[in-house]
Each structure stands twice: as structure tokens, then as C-alpha cells.
Chain A
Amino acid sequence: MDQPNDILLSVENLQVHFIGDGPVARAVDGVDFKVHHQETVCLVGESGCGKTVTALAILGLLKQPPASIAGGRITFDGQSLLDMHQDELRALRGKRIAMVFQEPMTSLNPVFTVGDQIGETVLVHERVSTAEVRRRTIQLLDDVGIVDPQGRLGDYPHQLSGGQRQRVMIAMALACEPDLIIADEPTTALDVTVQAQILSLLKKLKQEKNMAIQYITHDLGVVAAIADRVYVMYAGVVVEQGTTGIIFGNARHPYTMALLDSLPTKKKRGQRLYSIPGSVPHPAYRPTGCPFHPRCKFREPSCEKAFPALCDYGKGHKARCPILFATQDRAEEAHA
């Protein structure tokens, strides 16, 4: 699995800072992750943990300033994205890496038909006739499960439902058969039944088109449904990573464990939910040492001082908590 040529995207020690009037906000503070070919990788975390900024940095969509990429490397298929010229990056975006955004109503242009908007992606990247563009657009709309694609071509975004709009967004992303789709909370604004449709669509398309998906979400239920591997982010760093089975069955970072414990389910009826005290720290005022220590029930004095190292549990499972790594028994106990 970990052959170097199998890796499609690798992000190493990425640091993105936002510089404004106040103190520097370190939105992404040393993030490492990899996406292999044809793999679904989830970045999961709460708002403000840096998931979206990471995605935007990959695509070179961050406005600089106020953002500044303070360090790290992003390598896509052997090429360094951060060293690329804008023109090269533009040729790559939409063609080999595509993005699906959270709110389809704000990311679709209200004054162009959906046919125009999907076709534009094809026209920008390939020299094809308009008839061919039309044929491909209809095919794409059909692929994403839109009923009567021919009739929908001339529709404007406001004429479509939320689920249909998100399908159009996905069709746009698929237009040039990219190797990687970055989906940033694509179902957060949708109803559960529509969310289920979109998730199954993404799963199906991934199989058919041999794509990799980098899926960004805060919803652990969605992660369990779609991911092959998971990276849990907190306060700009990856605190735990592993296969989906391990993260949900055998988490070893206090934050991941606490998140899973705090989810309400019908099995926990009558019991008190575990709630994580405090709130997510502001990116400009993060605690020293381990960013999670003020809210952690396993904290020890050393957590306030040293930034925790990534501890390796084998089989790709790593967690940034030396305390639990040293005292595995306590982790077992906490899990029981």
C-alpha cells in the first residue's frame, strides 16, 4: 500500500498562517497526510480546525495575503504544487484535481445555466467542439443521477433542489475525469435522505472512474460510511490517523475517544453523555504543548510543555498522545 508511486497526494508539515492586525492565526500548524490512488480519505474535525484551509492550500485557492503558507510541502503525483506557477496550477485545477464545495447555491453562478457551467470546465481544459461539449455535459448529468438530463441543461441553479445542485457540482468536478476530488462538506447543507443519495453516488462514481476522494467533514457518521482512512484534526494538527475500522473501534487519542463518546445515540438513552469541557481554541490563541490538553481528561503536567509526538501503533494507526501510548492499560480502561 505504501509504495511511493502509489501515493497521489502528499502533504507534509503544511503550515498556513493568517496575518492580520492581531496576533498571527496559525490555522494549519503542521499537517501531514497522504492520499493514495483510488482511496477515500476523510479529514474530520470541528470548525476552525483547519480542514478547509488545508484543502484550499492544496488547490492554491488561498488569498495571499492575508494567508501565507509558512512552510511544508504539497506533492501531487510527483509535482510540488507550492512551487508551481499560477498558470500551471490553473491547468491542473478542474482537470486533475477538482473540488466540490459545501454550499452549492453559493458556488454555482446564478446567471448561467447548469449546462453552461459544466460545459465551461470541459472547454477550459480541452479543445473540443460545442456539440461534443453538449454530449459530454448530458452524459455527466446522467452519471450523477439527474433525471431527464437533456431537459435540465437549460435550467438555472435556482430551478433545482439542493440535492440536484450538489449533483451538478459533482458533475462539474467530474467533467475532466480528475484523479482526485476534494469534497469539502458536500452534504452538510442537505437533508439526511439526500445526503444518503449523494454519499452513495460518490461511492459509486469513485468505483467507476477510479478516482481518489479527499472528503472533509465534521460528521463522524458520514466518515464511518464513506472513508477508507481517516485523519482526525484538532486545532490545526492531525491528532490521529488510521483506517476507518481502527479509528471507530480502537481510537487512541483522547480527542477522538471523547468525540465518539459524546455522540448521542439511542443506545445511550438514559445515560449521561460524555461532554468535552471548554471549547475549541481560537487559532491565534492556542495553548502551549498539546493543543487539546486544557480539555483532556488524561492530561498530565508534561502535556502543557511539550508538543506531543506522533506515536505509532502499527498498521498505519498513529496518535499524537504519548500519555496514552505510555499507559496503554489506561486507554483500555477508558474505553471499557
Chain B
Amino acid sequence: MTLSAKPLLRVEGLKKYFPVRRGYLQRVGSYVRAVDGVDLTIQPHQTLGLVGESGCGKSTVARLILRLLNPDDGTVQFDGREITALTERAFKPLRKQIQMIFQDPYSSLNPRMTVAQSISDGVRMAGIKNKSDQRKRIRQLLDMVGMPAASAGRYPHEFSGGQRQRVGIARALSVSPKLVLCDEPISALDVSIQAQIINLLKDLQAELGLSYLFISHDLNVVSYICDYVCVMYRGRIVESAPATVLFDKPCHPYTLNLLAAVPEATEVGWSPQVGAELQRAVLPDGCAFGDQCPDYGDDCKHEPADMVKVGDGHYVRCWNAA
């Protein structure tokens, strides 16, 4: 990655363990290590892809960045300021600069609020007090996301999934953020609508200079839209590289697995390169991927390997890649 002087977001050693309570007394039995030491850097105007399977901790990372959850360890720096230690009151103005788009536009819009009402909260928060200015701004936002001005007075149920996602995007943009966290923004949409939303996100990025954290399990979309990609597995980032490098020269065995599993519409008769389910039920020592890795060796039993640099901006958490 070409490291510019000042990244927009820098996440270091982020950890979140959720307690698992058991039994009648609800004692804490063990912890789920949802996010276990994640480092990320997002440059201004760039799109960082965070990929991985369900349960690997992708969404938790987004929630930690936005402080919807409090991290157990690690720091988040936004625009040069450390935000993990701020009080809620001190963080509030910063939250305007980091917004989120959710996966399911059906459940993330309030069904009892019109589109204008949903967006106007943000517009007010952005400091526009005058009613007619607010209306003007709402119209402008709707126009930006390609919705007709007449939709302002309508309710979410009157729209299709793609239109609702556009409203969700307009709401996120209402406070003029710098960073937008997109948590699976197109997975719930129809195939023919996905391209519309992807194009919209790209247009908005060019127009407003936004940065995205793009969370997805759809590797085809990530390979298309992202500048830099981090692959997450069991709470850790196992490989990170510029998108072109990652998809052409993946190094980590898990990334290879993941890429081999993606069916592409261009490959007729593709047959997946995978066998049966994972055999070792107990997590091995050391590397979290050990139980499925064909090259699991003695080295891998040590502490999980640190990220090893294998190329320009290309880091891998694997002994065998070095």
C-alpha cells in the first residue's frame, strides 16, 4: 500500500471477547474471541474490503470502530485522534464523520417514519436548523442517491429493497461523513439491483471523497470495488494486500481456500476444490487455521504467527508463506 502521511482510520490490536455464560448461576464459562487483535488502516478516498465467513468477526469490527461496542483492548485512531478513550460526549461530534450502512434495509429503517423523517434527524444533527433549508437538504440527499423528491413523504414499505437501501445510504450521508462502514450493503438485494447500488457507492465516493470499509462475504464484489483487502478468519486478519495482488497472488492457505470456493459465472463446469468437513474437532494450538490447513506443521503449533511481509503492502499470517 502506498502509505500516505495520514491514514483516515488506523485500528491497532483491536480485541473484543464476549463472555459465554453457563448454567443456573450464569457464571462466565469461557470467552468467544470475536475480534482477537485486528489491525487495519484506511487511507482517505479508499475502499478497504474486509472479507471472511459468517462469524469471523467482520461486523464486530465495524461496531467497535463506531463504538456501538466497547473494545476490550486496542486502539482506534480516526483522523489522527484516538477515539477509543474518549468519553461518549467527546465522541459524539466524531460519530457524524463515521456512518454505517446496514445489510438489511428492511429492518434498519423505522417503518413508522417517512423517508424525510428518517433522514431529517441526521440533517438536524448536521446543524441545519431552518426548516426550509432542511427540506432542501433532504431533497438534495435523495437526489444524490437517485431517488425522486416525491419519495420524501413515503414510508419504507412502499419501496423495493434497492430503493430502501438508497434511503439508508441517504440517511448515512445526511451528516456528511468522511468514512462509511458498509456492512454487507448489497447481500440482501436482487442480482439486477446490486449493480445499481455498487455504481451508486462508487459515484458517491468520487463525488464526496468518501472512504469505505466494505464488509462482505462476496469475493466477486470485493475484487471489483475494493482498493485494499483484509481477509479475516476466527477474529484475526490472516492476509492483507492490495486487491489486485490478493486476488492474483493469494498466499495464506485460508485465502486460497476461500478463493477456490467462489463459483464464477465465467467458469462453466467449475468444480469446487474442497473435500469433506473439517476433521479435527478440537482447535489446535497456535494457528487458528491449523485444523483445516494441509501444511500444518510443527512451526504452526507455536503462538499464531505474526504478519509476515511477502510483498509491497502484502502481509500474511502464516509461517509457511515467509
Interface residues of A in 208-228 (CB under 8 A from B): 218-225
Instruction: Known A274-B195, A279-B162; judge A145-B277 contact (CB<8 A).
Output: yes
Q: Is the CB of B277 within 8 A of A273?
A: no
B276: A residues at CB distance < 8 A: 145, 147, 197
Q: Is the CB of A262 within 8 A of B191?
A: yes
Residues of A that sit less than 8 Å from B by CB? 46-47, 145-147, 163-164, 191-197, 199-200, 203, 218-225, 244-245, 248-249, 258-260, 262-266, 268-269, 272-277, 279-280, 295
Contact pick for B221, options A197, A220, A225, A264, CB 8 Å: A264
How many angstroms from the CA of A268 to the CA of B264 in the assembled complex? 13
What class of interface size applies to chain B in its complex with A? 35 or more
B263: A residues at CB distance < 8 A: 195-196, 199, 219, 221-222, 224-225
How many angstroms from the CA of A269 to the CA of B227 in the assembled complex? 10
Cβ-closest 10 pairs across A and B: A264-B224, A196-B272, A221-B263, A266-B223, A262-B195, A196-B261, A275-B195, A191-B53, A225-B263, A220-B265
Contact pick for B271, options A203, A222, A248, CB 8 Å: A203
Question: Residues 252-277 of chain B: 1 if any A CB is under 8 Å from the residue's CB, otherwise 0?
Answer: 00000110111111111111111111
Q: Is the CB of B268 within 8 A of A193?
A: no
How many angstroms from the CA of A223 to the CA of B163 in the assembled complex? 27
Q: Which residue of B lies closest to A190 (CB)?
A: B54
B198: A residues at CB distance < 8 A: 264, 273, 275
Residues of B that sit less than 8 Å from A by CB? 53-54, 160, 162-163, 190-196, 198-199, 202, 217, 219-221, 223-225, 243-244, 247, 257-258, 260-277, 279
B265: A residues at CB distance < 8 A: 220-221, 223-224, 248, 260, 263, 265
How many angstroms from the CA of A128 to the CA of B77 in the assembled complex? 67
How many angstroms from the CA of A266 to the CA of B262 in the assembled complex? 13
Q: Is the CB of A275 within 8 A of B196?
A: yes
Q: Is the CB of B272 within 8 A of A265?
A: no
Q: Which residue of B lies closest to A187 (CB)?
A: B263
Contact pick for B270, options A224, A249, A265, CB 8 Å: A224
How many angstroms from the CA of A254 to the CA of B53 in the assembled complex? 34
A258: B residues at CB distance < 8 A: 192
Max chain A CB contacts within 10 Å: which of B54, B261, B264, B265?
B265
B238 to chain A, nearest CB (A): 14
A199: B residues at CB distance < 8 A: 263, 272
Q: Is the CB of B257 within 8 A of A224?
A: no
Q: Which residue of B lies closest to A223 (CB)?
A: B265
- Secondary structure type dominating chain A contacts: helix
A244: B residues at CB distance < 8 A: 268-269
How many angstroms from the CA of A54 to the CA of B262 in the assembled complex? 28
How many angstroms from the CA of A196 to the CA of B163 in the assembled complex? 32
Q: Which residue of A lies closest to B197 (CB)?
A: A275
B253 to chain A, nearest CB (A): 12
Q: Is the CB of A279 within 8 A of B160?
A: yes
A249 to chain B, nearest CB (A): 7
Q: Is the CB of B261 within 8 A of A264?
A: no
Q: Can you name 10 A-B residue pairings with CB atoms under 8 Å? A: A46-B190, A147-B277, A192-B262, A193-B258, A196-B262, A225-B271, A265-B220, A266-B244, A275-B198, A279-B163
Taking A192-B219, A266-B244 as given, write out 13 further A-B residue pairs in contact, using a Cβ cutoff of 8 Å, ordered by the A residue number: A191-B217, A197-B274, A221-B263, A248-B268, A259-B192, A262-B191, A262-B195, A264-B194, A265-B220, A265-B266, A269-B223, A272-B199, A279-B162
Q: Is the CB of A196 within 8 A of B274?
A: yes
B196 to chain A, nearest CB (A): 4
B163: A residues at CB distance < 8 A: 279
How many angstroms from the CA of A146 to the CA of B274 in the assembled complex? 14
Max chain A CB contacts within 10 Å: which of B191, B223, B271, B279?
B191
A268: B residues at CB distance < 8 A: 224
B266: A residues at CB distance < 8 A: 224, 248, 265
Q: Is the CB of B270 within 8 A of A193?
A: no
B192: A residues at CB distance < 8 A: 46, 258-259, 262, 275-276, 279-280, 295
B261: A residues at CB distance < 8 A: 192-193, 195-196
Instruction: Known A191-B217, A192-B217, A266-B247; judge A225-B267 contact (CB<8 A).
Output: yes
How many angstroms from the CA of A163 to the CA of B276 in the assembled complex? 11
Q: Is the CB of A273 within 8 A of B195?
A: yes
Q: Is the CB of B272 within 8 A of A264?
A: no
How many angstroms from the CA of A245 to the CA of B196 in the assembled complex? 27
B196: A residues at CB distance < 8 A: 275-277
A147: B residues at CB distance < 8 A: 276-277, 279
A218: B residues at CB distance < 8 A: 190-191
How many angstroms from the CA of A147 to the CA of B279 in the assembled complex? 7
Instruction: Known A192-B53, A193-B257; judge A221-B264 contact (CB<8 A).
Output: yes
How many angstroms from the CA of A274 to the CA of B279 in the assembled complex? 43
Contact pick for B225, options A191, A200, A264, A279, CB 8 Å: A264
B247: A residues at CB distance < 8 A: 266
How many angstroms from the CA of A277 to the CA of B160 in the assembled complex? 13
